[in-house]
Chains A and B, each alone.
Chain A
């Protein structure tokens, strides 16, 4: 964690960047210092982020591969970057 951009990543994302994997598209959440503006949107897209949500200080998106994460985290507008976390349903079948 010598570089400032590394501190913006959550540990799993840091591991992915350090280890160069996994390959392929990654869904991420990006926290911004201020609500998304057109200028910042352009910066994010230029860094490789395809947005899946449109406003606020936390936006969802995906990058084509892990190499884009470093570019995203290096942006001054980006406060934190968190890779996708699976969620699990909290109900199921069973006998009464």
Chain B
């Protein structure tokens, strides 16, 4: 007798208990529900996987079963057969094991359970994302899919911006075409909806539809599939895609601003399941700066996939020594006719000259910091080397090496080597990334990679996942034909930390493999598809963030991130504490919502710079920590409402620092929106979300204790008050904020 999985044993037991019964799945709901195959059953047939014994002949087995083999080769094959034939199949001597095919929908719902969202959906009152908008900026959506429709047949999509569509005169978007809820509902009532709203998911796998289904798909009415926030409303931005790339940094910035406008002040969670290797991986690309700027507003959260770069060999890192040449080899495969770009980042105090050696052994001259030069190689390629100071405003240096085929038909294949010659070294650390290019595909070049000995799988989080205020999500396995991998981190999931040492990803979620909504015209069949990637992990967390914002709609992205991290489960292979792959652990929706209701975040009411001294005032007693880029944090461990830090002797980093204040384990971060602080003695007018402007006007030090005074203006009434101490300022704010919903936290310049 072959080994049967428990579901099949159940079926056989039922058959034995009811001899002679005409088995019809549709009429036998209890049994069907218990084994989970009734929706997949075709009349009285069932799909199984059959494994042969060592000597077993599956061809003979398949021929003996009155059903159709679904695959014609291999020692494990799928078969569809009448359920009444199961006992005979199990008794066949050639068969070692029979396993019921796993229906898609229980796996979908299992994913929801794995995230512990289902317990919230079924609670009282249910937490399902009501009142929250989720935005999917991706390849588009199959808006006709049942999981994006309400019970009355209407759509849950409140706005859809198709950036790749032909522009419509007078439209409400700067390019492409916008469809509002009324347009989509009109389309859904038409015989062919696409004659009314001619939008389709542009990805062959239906990437955007799949992602949207995980975040907020809802088929509770039919019992099929439910995403994480099934009562959230949906905004979709369809990026242009050429079948390889998915949108671009400016288009995503435009999309983020569009989402904020269309959300109309409601809490919103944006999912981004696309990224790039181009940049310093420290949150300073302009896309990341815009995400951070938007994410400082309460109720605006961006969730980003960590990336699938762990094993692609696109990162290298190490230490430079003064007076030595360091060689950084990378391999280019044949047929690469596209540009290859390598960025090498090192400290602003490191004086490094940069050159490159071709596979033929020829070397270019070295390029000094602050200069650029272009070289022709013997094979006809062109190489531009550009070394800039204060790259992206970080205070660090970056060497960009752009390889072009030039007059040749390809970039010369073989091993190239970047030469780093160090004269003066202050820090010594370098990190290098090769830009992502076309990978696989007919006629497409392979990704160039660092040589095996130079590769470093850490620091492979894709941009914009290294932004300071984005929530970055790694992937773990929840479904696989290889049971040993279940529960483990996905082998592809990018690893942190960021280049500036921040812990990323924030946490992990199911991403391998995940079944969700399938775009009707994408590869495959049926209304669900199974995909893998951190693209699939991120929307689980985006959905949970929507549940958290339903419970606590004024939390900022940082605060939501803290709640999610503290609530994360550290079980199985997850290490306690931040980990470069897992972050803080596995997403736990129920714990996160519970924590969000209990969290009490402190507020930074002022940051004052006086010479090389920084004073920070908080609304409650806190401990504090100040971090200057490139230096160890300075702690202020005594609980107090005013903390003073000395910056003398620390790297200037253009006065960029962040302040973290903590009370009862909850931390508020003030980094002035990532823009840095101006000249040390300058006093800056700063605004908060409630419409107040502050100017620090004096700092005295009676008895060594700093005393900060403020001029405060209520911008709505025009009321002003001068030279208030901290308590008087808070009283003024409370008086002027009365009746307004905005928090006094989140000071802006």
Is B truly associated with A? yes
Q: Determine the chain B residues whose CB is within 8 A of the CB of A59 once the complex forms.
A: 253
Most buried by A among B274, B285, B286, B479: B286
Q: Encode B235-257 as 1/0 by CB contact (under 8 A) with A.
A: 00001010011111111111011
The 8 A CB mask of A1-39 against B (1 = contact, 0 = none) is 100000100111011001000000001111100000000
Would you call A80 and B246 a contact (CB within 8 A)? no
Query: What interface size band does chain A fall in?
Result: 35 or more
B560 at interface by CB-CB < 8 Å? no
Contact status B402-A12, CB under 8 Å: yes
Cross-chain contact B253 with A60 (CB below 8 angstroms): yes
Given contacts A55-B257, A59-B253, A96-B530, contact A90 B308 (CB under 8 A): yes
A81 to B139, CA, bound (A): 26
Is there an interface contact between A52 and B250, defined as CB atoms closer than 8 Å? yes
CA distance A58 to B241 in the complex (A): 23
Do A92 and B531 touch (CB < 8 A)?
A: yes
Residues on A with C-beta less than 8 A from B513 are 94, 96
The reply to whether A87 and B276 form a contact with Cβ atoms under 8 Å apart is yes
**Is B145 in contact with chain A by the CB < 8 A criterion?**
no
Q: Which residues of chain A have C-beta atoms less than 8 A from B239's C-beta? A: 87
A21 to B256, CA, bound (A): 29
Q: Which of B203, B250, B462 contacts A28 (CB under 8 A)?
A: B250
The chain A residue sitting closest to B254, CB to CB, is A52
- Taken residue by residue from 46 to 65, chain A's Cβ proximity to chain B (1 for < 8 Å, 0 otherwise) reads as 00001111111111111000
Which residues from chain A contact B279 at a C-beta distance below 8 Å?
85
* B94 proximal to A (CB < 8 A): no
Interface assignment of B305: CB less than 8 Å from any CB of chain A: yes
Contact between B290 and A27, CB atoms less than 8 A apart: no
Interface size on B, residues (CB 8 A): 77
B139–A96 touching, CB < 8 Å: no
CB-nearest residue of chain A relative to B398?
A: A11
Query: What is the CA–CA distance of A51 and B274 in the complex, to the nearest angstrom?
Result: 23
- DSSP class of B's interface residues: helix, strand, loop or mixed? mixed
Please name all residues of chain B whose beta carbon is closer than 8 Å to the beta carbon of A7 when the two chains form the complex. 388-390
A12-B402, A84-B248, A84-B249 known; A91 vs B531 contact (CB < 8 Å):
yes
**Pick from B211, B244, B250, B479: contact of A60, CB under 8 Å:** B250
Q: List, in ascending order, chain A residues with CB within 8 A of B249's CB.
A: 29, 60, 82, 84-85, 87
B window 278-309: CB within 8 A of A? 278-279, 285-287, 289-290, 293-294, 305, 307-308
B174 is contacted by which of A1, A31, A52 (Cβ under 8 Å)? A52
Which of chain A's residues have a CB closer than 8 A to the CB of B536? 91
Q: State the Cβ distance, B490 to closest chain A Cβ, in Å.
A: 11
Interface flags for B382-402 (1: CB within 8 Å of A; 0: not) read 001010111011000010101
Is B652 interfacial (CB 8 A cutoff)?
Answer: no
* Contact B398–A85 (Cβ < 8 Å): no
- CB atoms of B274 and A88 under 8 A apart: yes
Question: Which residues on the B side are within 8 Å of A10 (C-beta)?
Answer: 392
Q: Among the listed B139, B388, B393, B532, which residue makes an inter-chain contact with A79, where contact means beta carbons less than 8 Å apart? A: B393
Q: B581 — which chain A residues lie within 8 A by C-beta?
A: none
Q: Is B741 an interface position by the 8 A CB rule?
A: no
CA distance A87 to B274 in the complex (A): 6
* A90 contacts B534, C-beta separation under 8 Å: yes
Pairs across A and B, CB under 8 Å, 7 listed: A7-B388, A11-B402, A27-B248, A53-B174, A54-B261, A57-B675, A90-B462
B residues bordering A, Cβ < 8 Å?
Answer: 138-139, 174-175, 203, 205, 207, 210-211, 239, 241, 244-254, 256-258, 261, 273-276, 278-279, 285-287, 289-290, 293-294, 305, 307-308, 341, 343, 370-372, 384, 386, 388-390, 392-393, 398, 400, 402, 436, 462, 479-481, 511, 513, 523-524, 529-536, 538, 673, 675
